[in-house]
Amino acid sequence: MATLKDFRVSEKATWCPGCGHFTVLAALQAASANLGIEPYNMVLVSGIGCSGKISQHFGSYGFHSLHGRTLPVATGVQLNNHDLVVVAAGGDGDGYGIGIGHFMHALRRNIDMTYIVMDNHIYGLTTGQTSPTSHRGFKSKTSPAGSAEEPVRPVQTAIINGASFVAQAFSGDVKQMTRIMEEAIRHKGFSLINAFSPCVTFNKVNTYDWFKENIYNLDEIIDYDPTDKFAALRVLEDHGSVVTGVIYQEERPVYHEAMIGATKDPTVKLDLTLQAEEIEAIKNSLR
């Protein structure tokens, strides 16, 4: 059985010292080992940005995709071999900016994968511009007088549009983040983890201290019911979306089971050899 060591690589991560992404990586490695996943049965697909480097630092199969294209690649992997554990990872700029169209369709399809978005409310790799989740009034190189836009609310969007598992975690709490990742990977369906991962270099507003002062932790609410959709939306509204824990969860068929005509076995395990008469029939249909 694989251990934590198997999910580590020899090369050191190149993130800034103190970056929240270190915790995300450590939590994913621990969760994978705790669940007894073998690295050869797991694929980590990442996008572009500081967050996109995570697939290079994780000891499984990996794919570093184009900007905003994490979910299409992960969808292709999962639908062709749904026996694999598929995890997609990216940042708020990557996933909720150019990638938000793909995000919306992955939600409603309920594709069986875990999507981790490292949300630091800024574009870090390009040295600090306002991102889709930056708060209104946020000052940066691209909004020196303060952003005039309302932020994208990814968690509410995920709940309303069909994600069957929605959670938020914080890089200042690796124990909770690890447990949430374990629950998300075990969940059958599309799981979103929006991970608050502070950028210590370019975001001097949404810091570790800011999150600690503002987070509302659902693990401390004894009677919270994550199957109540309206309660989930209400708690987010009441606490400015800065809520951690499993916020919403439901059970419903995943895409490859619900799709009419889909085979039970993954495509990669099917015998796709055509018989002579089948080849001849295809030729005749094209004449």
Q: pLDDT tens digits, residue range 108-138?
A: 999 999 999 999 999 999 999 999 999 999 9
Helices and strands (H, E) in the chain, number of each type: 10, 10
Distance in angstroms (rounded) separating the CA atoms of residues 145 and 214:
24
Expressed in percent and rounded to 5, the helix, strand and coil fractions of the chain are: 40, 20, 45
Residue 96: its pLDDT value, please? 96
**d(Cα 56, Cα 69) in Å, to the nearest integer?**
17
Mean pLDDT of 205-234: 97
**Which of these, 89, 158, 94, lies nearest to 126 by C-alpha position?**
94
273 falls in which pLDDT band (50, 70, 90)?
confident
Contact criterion met (CB below 8 Å) for 27 and 177: yes
Per-residue pLDDT at 47 exceeds 90: yes
Does the pLDDT value for residue 70 go beyond 80?
yes
d(CA 287, CA 275): 19
* 262 has pLDDT over 80: no
Query: Three-state DSSP class for 170?
Result: strand
Contacts of residue 115, Cβ cutoff 8 Å, sequence gap at least 6: 70, 71, 74, 87, 88, 89, 95, 103, 106, 190, 191, 192, 193
Average pLDDT score over residue span 167-175: 98
Q: Is the dihedral of CA 57, 62, 67, 70 positive or negative?
A: negative
pLDDT higher than threshold 90 for residue 157: yes
d(CA 163, CA 151): 20
How far is Cα 136 from Cα 24, in angstroms, rounded to an integer? 26
- Percent of the chain's residues with pLDDT above 90: 89
Place of tokens 């040295």: 127
Q: For residue 50, count other CB atoms closer than 10 A to its CB.
A: 26
Give the 3-state secondary structure of residue 216: strand
Helix (H) / strand (E) containing 117: strand 113-119
> What is the predicted pLDDT for the residue at 271?
84
165 CA to centre of own chain: 11
Name which of 209, 192, 172 is nearest 22 in CA terms.
172
Residue in the structure block whose two tokens are 């990872």: 89
Provide the percentage of residues in the chain whose pLDDT is more than 70. Answer: 99
Query: Average pLDDT in the 225-230 region?
Result: 97
Q: Domains (ranges, CATH) in the chain?
A: 4-259 (3.40.50.970)
pLDDT at residue 269 greater than cutoff 90? no
More confident residue, 25 or 256: 25
Q: Tokens for 6?
A: 């198997």
Contact 115, 158 (CB under 8 A): no
In this structure, the number of other CB atoms found within 10 A of the CB of residue 226 comes to: 17
User: Does the pLDDT at position 237 exceed 90?
Assistant: yes
